Amino acid sequence: MSRKNKRKKTRQKKVSLLLFAGKVFASIMFLVTVFFAILSIISAYSDHLSPATYSAFPSYLAFAFPLFLVINMILIIFWIFRKRWFFAIPLAAILAGWPAVSAFFPVHLEQEVPENAIKLLTYNVQHFELYASHKAEIGSPILHYILEQKADIICMQEYAFAYKNGKMQVHQELKEVYPYYSSHDVINVNNVMYNGLAVFSTYPILDAQRINYPSEHNGSVLVKVNVNGKILNIINNHLETNRITEKDRAEYATILGDLDNRNKAKEKILRLASIARNRLGVAFKIRAEQADSVACVIDKLDGYIIACGDFNDPPNSYSHHRIKGDKLRDAFADSGFGMSHTYNENKFYFRIDHILYSPNIKVFNCKVDNQVKYSDHYPMSCYFTFEK
């Protein structure tokens, strides 16, 4: 055999190997595409499955929905460049989960707010920084921020409304501006500090009742407010926390920074999986039961309704879906812009605070103020008017 023929056969073998490798790679990418499309759809509709009744697995996926969306978009581009019809698979997954897409990434331009609009602010104030170090002479920056907002109604979670033997200064200062208030303690810390839920209003508060569900550290309160003769039912919520400690959060942040170190990352990812199963999984189930209790109260209400606060769950979660039900809508999804997250520490960037409202209310410019990092949550606000 001539040298020329040998070189030709060698080239043919190389081409065959490359073609085979290309086919194997394309097959693997096809399986990856199908895999992430399925995960994306499960994540988008995880809000229909109660973790208290079914597996908590879809609830974990709910938090990963933005990641799945990005991966699907990358796969669409990949298959378009490969000139293969497989791009239709991730595209179909995105379209199938469009309700979740629009909830996570709403696009609404800022509207002109009517003069008679009422401003509502919801804020997990993290005990007004009682455990943080700041100069006493400047007072609480959270309190200063709240007063500057001039909201008509303020719903607070983790509100520390008594300290040592008397009322806290923040409580007294808020009362000077907001003559009507309702506060309910959830945690009594050694008879020193009472931590719970509070609603402050420029309008008269007619009644306030704790919603009955078992919880050691969280709660929900139904507050009836008389707004110019109209009864507004406000449900201020702080649903079950995710039970993740500061050490766990720091470990999560370290993992994200250590992904290039395979040995360390693998060990820490296994540790994180254990934390998720033992802590998040339990919290998912408790929140589902709490959301069921809140939803039962909402079902019995008539008139104007707002349910807001720290849900500790994203927009496509069961707790959000259950409380929203058929009677309420999401203010940020209907009048907000972009993927704003309300939790801001240790790279847990999720929107877990929400404002839900009944259709006989019109909302304007729901916003998350991500410039205010005084608490581990950002405040959320919106304007609203009553529809006749």
- The per-residue pLDDT for range 193-237, each reduced to its tens digit, is 567 899 999 999 999 999 999 888 899 999 999 999 999 999 999
Average pLDDT over residues 111-123: 95
Question: What is the pLDDT confidence band of residue 166, given thresholds at 50, 70 and 90?
Answer: very low
The answer to whether 192 touches 164, Cβ cutoff 8 Å, is yes
Question: What is the pLDDT confidence band of residue 184, given thresholds at 50, 70 and 90?
Answer: confident
The average confidence (pLDDT) of the chain is 85
The answer to whether 155 touches 236, Cβ cutoff 8 Å, is yes
Residue that the structure tokens 């999984």 belong to: 281
CB atoms within 10 A of CB 191: 9
pLDDT of residue 347: 74
CB atoms within 10 A of CB 10: 10
Alpha helix locations (H) across 50-168? 57-63, 65-81, 88-96, 98-104, 141-149
- Summarised one tens digit per residue, pLDDT across range 225-269 is 999 999 999 999 999 987 666 666 666 566 555 555 556 656 666
Q: Which of 201, 171, 155 is nearest to 379 (CA)?
A: 155
pTM for this structure? Answer: 0.86
- What is the Cα 170 distance to its own chain's centre? 27
Q: In what order do the strands lie in the sheet with 353-357?
A: 205-210, 219-227, 230-238, 304-310, 353-357, 329-330
Q: How many CA atoms lie within 13 A of 343 on its CB side?
A: 19
Inter-axis angle of helices 141-149 and 169-177, nearest 10: 10
Whole-number Å distance between alpha carbons of 290 and 216: 12
Query: What is 264-324 written as a DSSP string?
Result: HHHHHHHHHHHHIIIIIHHHHHHHHHHHHHHHHHHHT--SEEEEEEE-SS-TTSHHHHHHH
